[in-house]
Each structure stands twice: as C-alpha cells, then as structure tokens.
C-alpha cells in the first residue's frame, strides 16, 4: 500500500491545474465510444465508463496522497462543478481573494482548476505525473465509489488526506444526467433510457444507493475524515455549508475574514448565476462540448418535469429500501 507520510511541500496550493500543467483535464464526453455510446462496465461492483477503468486501476495502484490533500467525491451530476469552485475558492483564498477581479474562477471553468482523477490517471495520458507538480494542499475529484478508492485514501487513521463528498436527491441527479448524456449522445433520446437501468442499479457510477451509502457510512465512522454534503443543503444555506467546508479542511474563517465578507464573496463568486454567465462558461457552437453543459438549471425538483408520479414513487421506494437502517434518507 502506498504510504502517506511524504512531507508536504510548503503550503502554496491549491493552484489552478490548468495554469500549472498547461492542459485541460479532459471532459467526460471525450470518453464516448466510436459508435457514439457511453460504455458502462462493471468494475469491482460499480458501474463505470469503460474508458475510466485504466485510470481507476492506476489510482488504486499508485496514487500516493500527500498531507493536506482534499479529494472531492461525488456521483456525476450532483454538484461537482459547484463543489470544485467552492473548495478551490475557499482553500486558495489567501493567494486569490474571492472578490479580486482577476480571480482564476473568472477565467477558468472549475474543472480546469481541479483535476478529475479517473481521466488524469488513465494510461497514456501521462498527466498523472502532473499531479506531483501541484503544490500542497492539492485538490482533486473523483466519481469513484468509496469501496473502490485506494486504502491509502480511505484508511481511517490517515487524516492527512480528507474527503469532501456531495450527493443529490437521486431523481434530480438522474434528470441532470439524462440532459447531459443527451447532449453528448444524440441517440439517447428518452428519459426512460436512463431511468429504467438506474432503477436496476445500472447508471454511471451506480448503483446510486451504493455510492451515497459508502461515503455516508465512512462519514459516520470518521466525521473528521469524510465530510458529507448534500446539494439541496448547499442551495438552501450556502453560507453555513461553506463555513463547514472551511472548518473541515482546516481553514476556518477568522472573525476578521467574516467581518470583511470573505465568506459571502466566495458564495457569490461560486453561485450558479455568476459562473453560468461568465464568458468562459458560455456555449461554444464551434465545439461538440462546451463548458455551459455544466450549468443547466441548478434547481431542486426538476424531476417533476420528467417523471410521472408513479415513476417517482418507484425510484423513491427502491432508494429508501436500500438506505433503510442507515440514517440517510432523500424523502
């Protein structure tokens, strides 16, 4: 097992990955297959994109966490982009004051600031080594289920590397996933194409209930190691959740920062409207993928526009049955 006691370089991070490494962490849709399908593959009990498997295996084999690392975990379409922005703005606020007119998030998409591990570690990209170039504390994200993370990351005693997890009400997550997939793959047209397999557990990074339960149980066992956040809570009380996030990563807001409005500046900078309306996050008709795909509605309850009451009841019942006894519920 990889050790985690490597000395951390002087705290200078996080810095935008793209600024330091000169490359854009690859987007999900580049992983479509030649016949324009997203190929899901069973990997150690989880459903992942076939093209992520080499990266996942490389992470399991060789990822060495450093003191101060923060891994952002999430199922797809549960607020990763938002969490990346918030965590980056939070942890880099000394170097990049959030109200500064040249803040990196005003010119870079959050996914350019925080790399996606599965693709970064994929064989052949050679970007994996670029992780080593990042100054500490480093920020990175993964969609891997907790059960397939390397022990070097999950070991309870290893508080050097922390995990911040975000999940979302499963019906809204599925609707968001469907919209995203539809843009990437024109032959996915019906919501049922996503809904029916998901009810059986087959969806990207699913089963959904296993994904949330893995991190939920880990956060209950080690709350100082895993912070469990919910998209809906972030929407209803961003200030308190950002405060919680800052405390968790060991950078609580000082009284003077609170008085100076730094926390509010971060919330504003990372808000849906602010990020969505930036030029860097706008639609790009010349490309088959654009950053605007990450910013659709940003609301709670859009499922009602896509599911019948029966479909909603069916998925709710499946999810609640799987979560029963855990203390976690989405109802």
Between 8 and 106, CB nearer to ligand PAP: 106
CB of 67 to ligand PAP, least distance (A): 26
CB of 174 to ligand PAP, least distance (A): 10
Between 18 and 77, CB nearer to ligand PAP: 77
Determine the Cα–Cα distance for residues 316 and 27; give it in Å rounded to an integer. 30
Between 145 and 176, CB nearer to ligand PAP: 176
Residues designated as active site: 143
In the complex, the residues that contact ligand PAP under the rule CB under 6 A are: 28, 74, 76-82, 172, 176, 179, 270-272, 275, 294-298, 302
CB of 81 to ligand PAP, least distance (A): 3
CB of 259 to ligand PAP, least distance (A): 25
Between 66 and 93, CB nearer to ligand PAP: 93
């Amino acid at each position: 097992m990889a050790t985690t006691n490597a000395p951390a370089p002087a705290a200078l991070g996080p810095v935008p990955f793209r600024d330091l490494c000169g490359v854009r962490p690859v987007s999900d849709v580049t992983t479509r297959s030649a016949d324009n399908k997203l190929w899901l593959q069973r990997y150690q009990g989880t459903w992942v994109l076939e093209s992520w498997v080499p990266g996942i295996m490389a992470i399991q084999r060789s990822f060495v966490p450093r003191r101060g690392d923060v891994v952002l975990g999430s199922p797809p379409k549960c607020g990763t982009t938002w969490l990346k922005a918030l965590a980056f703005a939070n942890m880099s606020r000394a170097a990049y004051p959030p109200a500064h007119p040249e803040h990196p998030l005003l010119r870079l998409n959050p996914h350019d600031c925080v790399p996606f591990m599965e693709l970064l570690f994929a064989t052949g990209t050679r970007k994996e080594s670029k992780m080593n170039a990042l100054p500490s504390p480093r920020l990175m994200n993964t969609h891997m289920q907790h059960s397939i993370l390397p022990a070097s990351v999950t070991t309870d005693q290893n508080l050097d590397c922390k995990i911040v997890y975000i999940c979302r009400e499963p019906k809204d997550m599925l609707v968001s996933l469907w919209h995203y997939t539809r843009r990437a793959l024109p032959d996915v047209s019906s919501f049922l194409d996503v809904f029916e397999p998901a009810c059986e557990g087959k969806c990207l990074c699913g089963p959904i209930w296993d994904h949330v339960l893995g991190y939920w149980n880990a956060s209950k066992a080690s709350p100082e190691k895993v912070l469990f956040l919910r998209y809906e809570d972030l929407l209803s009380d961003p200030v308190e959740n950002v405060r919680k996030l800052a405390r968790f990563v060991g950078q609580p807001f000082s009284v003077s920062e609170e008085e100076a409005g730094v926390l509010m500046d971060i919330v504003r900078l990372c808000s849906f409207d602010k990020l969505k309306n930036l030029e860097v996050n706008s639609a790009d008709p010349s490309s088959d993928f654009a950053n605007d795909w990450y910013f659709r509605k940003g609301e709670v309850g859009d499922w009602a526009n896509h599911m019948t009451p029966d479909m909603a009841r069916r998925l709710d019942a499946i999810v609640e049955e799987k979560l029963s006894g855990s203390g976690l519920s989405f109802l």
